[in-house]
């Protein structure tokens, strides 16, 4: 009966699957900007021109041709810096989120499937880890390891693996109780093989959704660390440092702050929406 | 501990000989703050022979221990004590590695075909993966042949479990079990989740396959009417103890235990019969 | 209640259609009547729409379903013509539900007592004392020893059969005109099922309450009901007195359902599936009916 009520609806509920396509398009735009930055950026992101400082965007009075989104307090082109900023944002998010995902999910799968002492050790570790305030922890880690992209990536992975471990452990425990796991045992499968070939495919949609969410979070954490000047050198264009810089001139040059902020917001939103969308898309029952 | 009188359920030689089987679970609901949880005894010394090449029904109410007993036969559970002789070998004390080569002979069909078929795998993979593990083929043709035996067309090989009806899923479960040509199959409440129309189909199918392949089957059910239809012998469990056993017709015609009598009297048969109400147990 | 007029029926359903938002029909022109004190079985396989009829009467169908077409008349009150809040009050006053799953139907964090007495006080305006007394009496009536203690316990402290008896007591407590019993014994063991069926039968006879008994089991139908509605794919296949249905079923689907139900009679041990050809034929009939219905809809 429940089938009759829900099945035909799901298919129609999301016309053209906008939840999947809108974020994909935006992420593709950002990714293209990152990949082809030298070819599409109208200016050198580092080139200063104090004669052209704080120019407004092209649609306002007093703008200069070629500076579509205006310039900052050192006369650097905002659009070009944002395009180059996408490089750093995506690079960090891709590497950091993947590392976090692999590490955290593996622990989660092991804890959830084997139970017993592996579970007890991993779960206690997660509890202890989560007692640290994450941003402070990140700042502390980077301060100890020194600034730079490598430190930023390491900080993200070291902080956020618990999210994967926790969620994937719970999900694995649910799957481990299903009859198909017993059935694999009856069919002569080894424990490890059961985990990889029976349970993992069922947990994968959640892993992918979390991975996407983590990419968004990595973008934010990178921005936060740039904002407090703990990422890479402040000259390098990152969205976080642009926001930090724009903060000082918000009353007379709002565009320096606003455009990177919107980009950051849309990118993070896209990642998390895409994650949910993909999870639903991969669900064989509710597809 | 003295053994109860030895079971002579049938003249046929036994495939399984179970002696004085005990099992208990920890009762976490009543665990004291310190110290171990008290244990609930689920099976209290069961001794039973399961005859070769026949279908033995195991019946009882919820809490009788019938499913637990079944899961020990296929060693999804470990007994606390007692012998589980499968063809003369005590499988009750083997570890997982020692059991693995034996598992091909000890197959199971599950109650809930949705949960027992991996939703991420196609039917062909579900059927052939165990075959490959035991080096008994595992090609697409093997999958199609197994589907054919349970009356499903070849195109079902490419479907996912959620694309099938309940009865079809249960046939896939049967196909997976018989594809390994096992010597024993445990069927655990396999029709209780199905509509009446498919119940009869699945039971007929299982009965035919058992006869053709000479299978030994333990058929667990809470429903005596289904047992009578399919089984050669029947064992009635109640609170972890065997209260009745023997050839189906004997037990049905002359039940020895009050438990069996009340189980029989409680079946709502599809006929108008005011007398049915006469014997109702009080609460 | 402005739309009330005197009638002999407790429940009168006339050409009820339930549709999904996309227009697909789940119930197709279902009509049935229920006299006071009568038990009518709604029988069919999964997807037949049997539970849906009971839920439509009680007004507890999911919101995405359209039930505007057809009439549901409960004790003379035209439910479909009412505003949602009047309808809710009317239904609550005159009917109760015995749900399928006793394990989830009771609120786990509340004690049993208030779960029985609350509706009596809130909906029926009884005094707390009167409600308490009634709850005690009925728990006693469903053979619960020490009703006081049970009323002070939480659901998880009681067995499944006990909880189902409590739900039956709660359903009968306000002496409703109609009880919808939605597969109330499906989750229970046969011996407990028989006890529960007997209880429902006795209480129903004592109180004169009409019962709409939803089940998939022809055996249960034979034992509990006086009238039967056989459903297939949301359509009534046969509507007849129970006696007649089992002695001379007129519809081939009814005959097949009876044959598919195992008996204990060793002589007629034949027990055969519903033929696939019959199912296919019924589905094609329904497709034709739907096509005609859709054409009429557009015209």
What is the reported pLDDT for B269? Answer: 86
- The CATH number given to whatever domain includes residue C133 is 3.40.50.300
Q: How many domains does chain A have?
A: 1
Residue A13: pLDDT band with limits 50, 70, 90: very low
- Domain limits for position B95: 1-28+38-105+184-266
Do A152 and A231 meet the contact criterion of CB atoms below 8 Å apart? Answer: yes
The answer to whether the Cβ–Cβ distance between C262 and B276 falls below 8 Å is: no
Nearest to B199 among C195, C243, C260 (CB): C260
- Domain limits for position C229: 11-295
- The CATH number given to whatever domain includes residue A201 is 1.10.3720.10
What is the reported pLDDT for A6? Answer: 38
Mean pLDDT value of segment A111-121: 95
Residue C177: pLDDT band with limits 50, 70, 90: very high
- Beta strands across the sheet bearing C77-78: C25-34, C11-19, C66-74, C77-78
Q: Give the gap in angstroms from C-alpha B176 to the nearest C-alpha of chain A.
A: 9
Mean pLDDT value of segment A36-49: 83
What is the reported pLDDT for B194? Answer: 87
Q: Is residue C5 part of a domain?
A: no
Nearest Cα to Cα of residue C253 among C226, C222, C285, C227: C285
Residues of C in contact with A5 (CB under 8 A): 20, 62, 64-65
Q: Average pLDDT, whole number, for chain A?
A: 84
The answer to whether the Cβ–Cβ distance between B120 and A202 falls below 8 Å is: yes
Q: Report the share of chain B in percent with pLDDT over 70.
A: 96
Instruction: Say what the pTM is.
Output: 0.85
Nearest Cα to Cα of residue C289 among C27, C76, C1, C71: C27
Q: Is residue A237 part of a domain?
A: yes
Residue B120: pLDDT band with limits 50, 70, 90: very high
The answer to whether the Cβ–Cβ distance between A189 and B133 falls below 8 Å is: yes
Residue B12: pLDDT band with limits 50, 70, 90: confident
CB-based contact (8 Å) between A12 and chain C? Answer: yes
Q: Is the pLDDT of residue B1 over 80?
A: no
Q: How many domains does chain C have?
A: 1
Residue C137: pLDDT band with limits 50, 70, 90: very high
Q: Is residue C3 part of a domain?
A: no
What is the total residue count of chain B? Answer: 283
- Domain limits for position A130: 12-33+71-286
Do A145 and A154 meet the contact criterion of CB atoms below 8 Å apart? Answer: yes
Q: How many domains does chain B have?
A: 2
Q: Is residue C227 part of a domain?
A: yes
The verdict on B95 and B226 lying in the same domain is: yes
The verdict on B140 and B153 lying in the same domain is: yes
What is the reported pLDDT for A284? Answer: 62
Mean pLDDT value of segment A167-194: 94
Q: Average pLDDT, whole number, for chain C?
A: 89
The verdict on B63 and B189 lying in the same domain is: yes
What is the reported pLDDT for C7? Answer: 56
Residue C283: pLDDT band with limits 50, 70, 90: very high
Element (H, E) at C215: strand C210-215
The answer to whether the Cβ–Cβ distance between B166 and C242 falls below 8 Å is: no
CB-based contact (8 Å) between B64 and chain C? Answer: no
Query: For the segment C217-260, what is each residue's pLDDT rounded down to a tens digit?
Result: 999 999 999 999 999 999 999 999 999 999 999 999 999 999 88
Q: Give the gap in angstroms from C-alpha B206 to the nearest C-alpha of chain A.
A: 18
Q: Is residue A109 part of a domain?
A: yes
CB-based contact (8 Å) between A5 and chain C? Answer: yes
Q: Please enumerate in sequence order all residues whose Cβ is within 8 A of that of B15, keeping only pairs 6 or more positions apart, or say none.
A: B50, B51, B52, B53, B86, B87, B183, B184, B216
Round to whole Å and give the CA distance between B241 and A164. Answer: 46
What is the reported pLDDT for B119? Answer: 93
Mean pLDDT value of segment A211-218: 91
**Between A152 and A165, whose confidence is greater?**
A165
CB-based contact (8 Å) between A117 and chain C? Answer: no
Q: Is residue B272 part of a domain?
A: no
Nearest to B267 among C190, C195, C243 (CB): C190
Q: Report the share of chain C in percent with pLDDT over 70.
A: 95
Residue with tokens 């579970």: A119
| Touching A: B residues 188-217, CB under 8 Å | none
Q: Is the pLDDT of residue C6 over 60?
A: no
**Between A239 and A4, whose confidence is greater?**
A239
What is the reported pLDDT for B126? Answer: 96
What is the reported pLDDT for A252? Answer: 79
Q: What is the ipTM of this complex?
A: 0.87
Q: Is residue B278 part of a domain?
A: no
The verdict on B136 and B123 lying in the same domain is: yes
Q: Is residue B275 part of a domain?
A: no
What is the reported pLDDT for A246? Answer: 82
The verdict on B149 and B243 lying in the same domain is: no
Residues of A in contact with C65 (CB under 8 A): 5
Query: For the segment B20-76, what is each residue's pLDDT rounded down to a tens digit?
Result: 999 999 887 777 888 888 888 999 999 999 999 999 999 999 889 999 999 999 999
Strand pairing report for B55-59 and B233-238: parallel
Can you give chain A as a three-state secondary structure string? CHHHHHHHHHHHHCHHHHHHHHHHHHHHHHHHHHHCHHHHCCCCCCCCCHHHCCCCCCCCCCCCCCCCCCECCCCCEHHHHHHHHHHHHHHHHHHHHHHHHHHHHHHHHHHHHHCHHHHHHHHHHHHHHHCCCHHHHHHHHHHHHCCCHHHHHHHHHHHHHHHHHHHHHHHHHHHHCCHHHHHHHHCCCCHHHHHHHHHHHHHHHHHHHHHHHHHHHHHHHHHHHHHCCCCCCCCCCCHHHHHHHHHHCCCCCCHHHHHHHHHHHHHHHHHHHHHHHHHHHHCCCCC
Mean pLDDT value of segment A65-92: 84
C-alpha neighbours within 13 Å on the C-beta side of residue B235: 28
Q: Give the gap in angstroms from C-alpha B266 to the nearest C-alpha of chain A.
A: 28
Q: Is the pLDDT of residue B282 over 80?
A: no
What is the reported pLDDT for C188? Answer: 84
Mean pLDDT value of segment B87-101: 91
Q: Give the gap in angstroms from C-alpha A202 to the nearest C-alpha of chain B.
A: 6
What is the reported pLDDT for C20? Answer: 87
**Between A15 and A217, whose confidence is greater?**
A217
Q: Is the pLDDT of residue A72 over 90?
A: no
Dihedral Cα B220, B221, B226, B227, nearest 10 deg? 50
Q: Is residue C182 part of a domain?
A: yes
| Touching A: B residues 14-43, CB under 8 Å | none
What is the reported pLDDT for B156? Answer: 95
What is the reported pLDDT for A4? Answer: 40
C239-259 burial, b for 16+ CB within 10 Å, e for fewer?
Answer: bbebeebbeebebebbbbbbb
The answer to whether the Cβ–Cβ distance between B108 and A188 falls below 8 Å is: no
The answer to whether the Cβ–Cβ distance between A1 and C20 falls below 8 Å is: no
Mean pLDDT value of segment C248-275: 82
Q: Is residue C1 part of a domain?
A: no
The answer to whether the Cβ–Cβ distance between B133 and A188 falls below 8 Å is: yes
CB-based contact (8 Å) between C260 and chain B? Answer: yes
Q: Is residue A41 part of a domain?
A: no
The answer to whether the Cβ–Cβ distance between A9 and C47 falls below 8 Å is: no
Residue B10: pLDDT band with limits 50, 70, 90: low
What is the reported pLDDT for B17? Answer: 94
Eight-state DSSP code of residue C295: H
Q: Is residue A246 part of a domain?
A: yes
Q: Is residue C235 part of a domain?
A: yes
User: Nearest-CA residue of chain C relative to B64?
Assistant: C189
Chains touching chain B, criterion 3+ CB pairs below 8 Å = A, C
The verdict on B121 and B75 lying in the same domain is: no
Best B101, B118, B121 member to test A by mutation, with max A CBs in 10 Å, is B118
């Amino acid at each position: 009966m429940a089938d009759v009520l829900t099945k035909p609806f799901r298919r129609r509920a999301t016309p053209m699957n906008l939840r999947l396509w809108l974020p994909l398009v935006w992420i593709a735009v950002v990714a293209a900007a990152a990949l082809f930055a030298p070819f599409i950026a109208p200016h050198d992101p580092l080139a200063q021109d104090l004669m052209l400082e704080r120019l407004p965007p092209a649609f306002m009075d007093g703008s200069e041709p070629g500076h579509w989104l205006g310039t900052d307090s050192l006369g650097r082109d905002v659009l070009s810096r944002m395009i180059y900023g996408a490089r750093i944002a995506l690079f960090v998010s891709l590497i950091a989120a993947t590392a976090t995902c692999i590490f955290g999910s593996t622990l989660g799968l092991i804890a959830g499937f084997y139970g017993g002492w592996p579970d007890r050790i991993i779960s206690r570790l997660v509890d202890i880890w989560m007692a640290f305030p994450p941003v402070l922890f990140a700042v502390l880690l980077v301060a100890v390891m020194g600034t730079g992209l490598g430190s930023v990536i390491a900080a993200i992975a070291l902080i956020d693996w618990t999210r994967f471990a926790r969620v994937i452990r719970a999900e694995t425990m649910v799957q481990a109780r299903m009859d198909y796991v017993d059935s694999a045992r009856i069919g002569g499968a080894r424990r490890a093989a059961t985990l990889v070939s029976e349970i993992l495919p069922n947990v994968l949609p959640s892993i992918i959704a979390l991975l996407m969410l983590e990419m968004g979070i990595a973008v934010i954490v990178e921005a936060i660390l740039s904002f407090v000047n703990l990422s890479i050198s402040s000259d390098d264009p990152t969205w976080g440092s642009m926001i930090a810089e724009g903060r000082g001139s918000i009353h007379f040059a709002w565009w320096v702050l606003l455009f990177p902020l919107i980009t950051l917001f849309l990118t993070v939103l896209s990642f998390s929406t895409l994650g949910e969308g993909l999870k639903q898309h991969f669900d064989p029952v509710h597809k | 501990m003295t053994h109860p009188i030895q079971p002579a359920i049938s003249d046929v030689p036994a495939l399984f000989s179970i002696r004085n089987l005990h099992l208990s679970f920890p009762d976490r609901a009543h665990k004291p703050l310190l110290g171990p949880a008290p244990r609930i005894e689920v099976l209290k010394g069961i001794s039973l022979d399961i005859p070769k090449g026949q279908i033995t029904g195991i019946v009882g109410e919820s809490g009788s221990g019938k499913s637990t007993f079944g899961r020990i036969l296929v060693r999804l559970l470990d007994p606390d004590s007692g012998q589980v002789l499968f063809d003369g070998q005590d499988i009750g004390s083997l570890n997982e590695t020692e059991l693995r080569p034996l598992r091909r002979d000890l197959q199971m069909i599950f109650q809930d075909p949705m949960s027992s078929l991996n939703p991420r795998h196609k039917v062909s993979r579900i059927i052939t993966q165990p075959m490959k593990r035991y080096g008994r083929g595992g090609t697409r043709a093997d999958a199609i042949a197994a589907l054919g035996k349970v009356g499903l067309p070849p195109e079902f090989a490419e479907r996912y479990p959620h694309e099938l009806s309940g009865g079809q899923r249960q046939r896939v479960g049967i196909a997976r079990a018989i594809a390994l040509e096992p010597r024993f199959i445990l069927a655990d409440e396999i029709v209780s989740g199905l509509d009446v129309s498919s119940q009869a189909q699945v039971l007929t199918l299982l009965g035919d396959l058992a006869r053709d392949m000479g299978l030994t089957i333990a058929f667990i059910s809470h429903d005596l009417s289904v047992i009578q239809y399919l089984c050669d012998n029947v064992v009635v469990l109640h609170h972890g103890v065997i209260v009745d056993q023997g050839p189906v017709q004997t037990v049905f015609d002359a039940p020895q235990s009050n438990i069996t009598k009340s189980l029989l009297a409680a079946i709502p048969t599809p006929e108008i019969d005011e007398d049915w109400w006469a014997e109702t147990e009080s609460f | 209640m402005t739309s009330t007029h005197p009638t002999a029926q407790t429940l009168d359903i006339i050409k009820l259609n339930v549709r999904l938002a996309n227009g697909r029909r789940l119930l197709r022109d279902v009509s049935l009547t229920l006299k006071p004190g009568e038990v009518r079985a709604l029988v069919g396989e999964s997807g037949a729409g049997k539970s849906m009829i009971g839920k439509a009467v009680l007004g507890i169908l999911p919101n995405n379903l359209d039930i505007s077409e057809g009439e549901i008349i409960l004790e003379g009150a035209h439910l479909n013509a009412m505003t949602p809040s009047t309808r809710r009050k009317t239904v609550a006053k005159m009917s109760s539900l015995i749900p399928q799953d006793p394990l989830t139907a009771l609120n786990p964090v509340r004690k049993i007592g208030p779960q029985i007495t609350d509706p009596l006080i809130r909906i029926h305006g009884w005094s707390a004392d009167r409600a308490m007394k009634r709850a005690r009496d009925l728990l006693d009536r469903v053979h619960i020893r020490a009703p006081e203690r049970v009323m002070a316990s939480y659901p998880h402290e009681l067995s499944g059969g006990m909880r189902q008896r409590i739900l039956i007591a709660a359903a009968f407590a306000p002496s409703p005109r109609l009880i919808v019993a939605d597969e109330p014994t499906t989750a229970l063991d046969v011996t407990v099922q028989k006890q529960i069926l007997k209880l429902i039968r006795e209480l129903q006879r004592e109180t004169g309450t009409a019962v709409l008994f939803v089940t998939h089991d022809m055996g249960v139908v034979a034992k509990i009901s006086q009238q039967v509605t056989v459903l297939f794919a949301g359509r009534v296949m046969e509507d007849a007195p129970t006696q007649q249905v089992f002695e001379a079923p007129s519809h081939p689907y009814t005959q097949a359902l009876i044959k598919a139900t195992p008996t204990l009679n060793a002589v007629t041990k034949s027990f055969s599936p519903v033929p696939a050809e019959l199912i296919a034929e019924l589905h094609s009939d329904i497709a034709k009916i739907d096509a005609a219905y859709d054409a009429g809809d557009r015209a």
